[in-house]
């Protein structure tokens, strides 16, 4: 039967009442139909005033015999948080940033350094080292120009770091996650610092530039195509020489190849279509009347070093990038186009980019 009540004890000292009699049909499905449904509980424990370090939670249930029984035990670790109001101290720490990548809410990571679609997380990865304590600092924090502050612990194993730094253990790495929707669209500069157990920042920090690109949204199914012009240019990048797309050119690849496609696209006179513009790639067999295959690249960002093989766009934030996996494409020729969705998501315009011919793996592709 369900307990009469549930209490949560923090560190064997503080007791919190739990809301009980919550429906847990999922547990009933595992334990059997004779199990009551209302055996769930919930309790909110505030840990703002806890010292950094190890702590524990214990759940106690009051049974029908008026006796308390320990029902569950869960240890956890509380990390220090940065306190920007304390300013920057005189002590210094070594700080190295390895990468800045976007990560969707499903955990999928992007491939473009420093470019994050709006609505995803910007993951700043690296390591930090406090030479005074010969160990990792309490954590790292990111602070933007509007006062936003996000922190993370240094608890990721980095076996490659202790040898040059002289650290006593290898848990010096960090993954600091910053919500892009709190940064806002456009180019943002963030200061990254290590901080000690009191929350005070170390004197040495690093600057990180994050470009928040357009939000990745699905193609509007009932949008109509307009006759508006789309100007576009693109190429396939890779280890070898880039291959530039042309409307009359056919680029061949083996089935299963991944094509890194980069380029830019603007509609009409180059003014922005929508806030922000939605750019899609379309693949359509020219000899078959079927709906096109649509892919949503990361778009609406600036290129620091635009490729020399194609002209520069009329608007700086018109670039897009996508890794096209051809594993699921049937061997044939596809017309590759760029579609730009209007701000009201009721219409879109298309521009020809080139042609892609997918050949079986036994064939030798040419371009």
CATH number at residue 110: 2.60.40.10
* CA angle, 328 then 334 then 340, to 5°: 95
DSSP string, 126-159: EEEEBTTTTB--SEEEEEETTS-EEEEE--EE-T
Secondary structure (3-state) at 88: strand
* CA atoms of 237 and 234, how far apart (whole Å): 9
Answer yes or no: do 168 and 62 share one domain: no
Contact between 163 and 178 (Cβ < 8 Å): no
* CA atoms of 188 and 168, how far apart (whole Å): 35
Which pLDDT value is given to residue 273? 42
Residue 218 lies in a domain: no
Q: What is the 3-state secondary structure (H, E, C) of 247-300?
A: CCCEEEEECCCEEEEEEEEEECCCCCCCCCCEEEEEEECCCCCCCCEEECCEEE
Answer yes or no: do 145 and 258 share one domain: no
Residue 33 lies in a domain: yes
Residue 367 lies in a domain: no
The candidate with the shortest Cα–Cα distance to 365, out of 337, 323, 331, is 331
Answer yes or no: do 237 and 354 share one domain: yes
**Number of separate domains in the chain:** 3
Answer yes or no: do 177 and 107 share one domain: yes
* CA atoms of 117 and 108, how far apart (whole Å): 12
Out of 183, 213, 243, a domain closes at 213
* CA atoms of 297 and 324, how far apart (whole Å): 9
Residue 364 lies in a domain: no
Out of 170, 190, 213, a domain closes at 213
Answer yes or no: do 144 and 64 share one domain: no
Which pLDDT value is given to residue 65? 92
In the chain the first and final C-alpha atoms are separated, in Å, by: 71
Which pLDDT value is given to residue 165? 66
Answer yes or no: do 329 and 236 share one domain: yes
The whole-number mean pLDDT for each consecutive block of 10 residues of the chain, a chain of 367 residues, reads: 92 92 87 88 88 88 92 88 88 93 89 93 94 87 91 89 74 93 92 92 92 91 89 86 91 93 84 63 85 92 90 91 93 94 88 93 64
The candidate with the shortest Cα–Cα distance to 92, out of 13, 1, 206, 255, is 206
CB neighbour class for 184 (10 Å; exposed up to 12, middle 13-18, buried from 19): exposed
Answer yes or no: do 90 and 74 share one domain: no
Out of 57, 78, 99, a domain closes at 78
Tokens linked to 38:
């209302």
Q: What domain range includes position 322?
A: 224-359
Answer yes or no: do 72 and 92 share one domain: no
pTM for this entry = 0.76
Q: Provide CB contacts within 8 A for 265, sequence distance 6+.
A: 230, 231, 232, 279, 299, 313, 318, 320, 338, 340, 351
Which of left, alpha, beta for 346 (phi over 0: left; psi -120 to 50: alpha)? Answer: alpha
Contact between 61 and 8 (Cβ < 8 Å): no
Residue 309 lies in a domain: yes
* CA atoms of 345 and 341, how far apart (whole Å): 6
Q: Provide CB contacts within 8 A for 275, sequence distance 6+.
A: 343
Answer yes or no: do 52 and 120 share one domain: no
């Amino acid at each position: 039967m369900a307990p009469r009540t549930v209490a949560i004890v923090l560190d064997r000292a503080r007791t919190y009442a739990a809301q009980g009699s919550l429906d847990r049909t999922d547990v009933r499905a595992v334990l059997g139909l004779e199990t009551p449904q209302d055996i769930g509980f919930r309790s909110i424990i505030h840990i703002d005033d806890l010292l950094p370090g190890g702590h524990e939670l214990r759940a106690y249930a009051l049974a029908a015999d008026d006796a308390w029984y320990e029902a569950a035990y869960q240890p956890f670790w509380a990390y220090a948080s940065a306190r920007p109001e304390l300013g920057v101290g005189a002590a210094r720490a070594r700080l190295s940033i390895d990468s800045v990548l976007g990560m969707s809410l499903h955990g999928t990571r992007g491939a473009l350094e420093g470019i994050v679609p709006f609505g995803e997380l910007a993951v700043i990865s690296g390591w930090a080292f406090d030479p005074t304590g010969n160990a990792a600092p309490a954590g790292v924090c990111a602070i933007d120009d509007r006062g936003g502050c996000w922190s993370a612990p240094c608890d990721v194993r980095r076996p490659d770091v202790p040898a040059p730094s002289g650290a006593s253990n290898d848990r010096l790495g960090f993954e600091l996650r910053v919500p892009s929707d709190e940064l806002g669209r456009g180019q943002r500069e963030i200061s990254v610092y290590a901080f000690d157990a009191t929350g005070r920042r170390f004197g040495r920090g690093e600057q990180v530039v994050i470009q928040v690109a357009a939000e990745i949204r699905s193609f509007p199914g009932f949008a109509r195509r307009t006759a508006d012009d789309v100007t576009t240019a693109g190429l396939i990048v890779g280890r070898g020489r880039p291959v530039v797309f042309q409307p009359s050119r056919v680029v061949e690849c083996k089935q299963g190849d991944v094509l890194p496609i980069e380029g830019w696209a603007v509609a009409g006179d180059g003014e922005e279509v929508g806030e922000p513009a939605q750019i899609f790639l379309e693949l359509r067999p020219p000899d078959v009347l079927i709906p096109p295959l649509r892919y949503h690249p990361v778009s609406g960002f600036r290129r620091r070093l635009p490729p020399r093989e194609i002209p520069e766009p009329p608007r700086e934030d018109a670039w897009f990038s996508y890794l096209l996996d051809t594993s699921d494409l049937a061997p044939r020729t596809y017309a590759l186009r760029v579609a730009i969705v209007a701000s009201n998501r009721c219409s879109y315009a298309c521009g020809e980019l080139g042609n892609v011919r997918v050949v079986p793996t036994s064939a030798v592709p040419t371009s």
